[in-house]
Structure 1
Amino acid sequence: MSTIDTKPIPPAPSLLPQPPRKPEPHECCGTGCIPCVMDIYEEELWEYERSLKQLQGQPQVQEQVQAQEQPQAANSTGGNAR
């Protein structure tokens, strides 16, 4: 007698880098710290965008980008689909 393993298969790890979290306005003290949390964010954002550009054209990445964009497009219709 054989049994079938019904455990859910974990999703494949994403090839896409995660965007950096933008600091909240209250996280900057406004005293000109070096580096400022906003400066760090800008550097991380630049690295994130550079990483995305390097990954462009790879079929696996294109599929993930399309999959991420589809739910966003569905949500932007206003949810009045009747």
Structure 2
Amino acid sequence: MQHVKVKVYTTPNCPWCRKAKSYFRELGIKFSEVDVSRDPKAAEELVRRTHQMGTPVIQIGSQYIIGFDKNKIDSMLGIN
């Protein structure tokens, strides 16, 4: 299952970010976290790629999921 890179773009006070990270931990999926409140270049790049300013934004491989959408995450990871 862990054949694709997962990155979670977050901010410190985002409850949905915490839920997303917790979900990946439950699944045993390794992920990297980018705190866009501390990394303005990452924030700019994220807005350029997704046109979104909110968090979380989850990148699985080259695809982006806006918000914590468990069904999309499961689908992209091949979880039934």
Instruction: Identify the structure with the greater helix proportion.
Output: 1
- TM-score exceeds 0.5: no
Higher-Rg structure is 1
TM range (shorter): under 0.3
Q: TM-score, normalised by structure 1?
A: 0.25
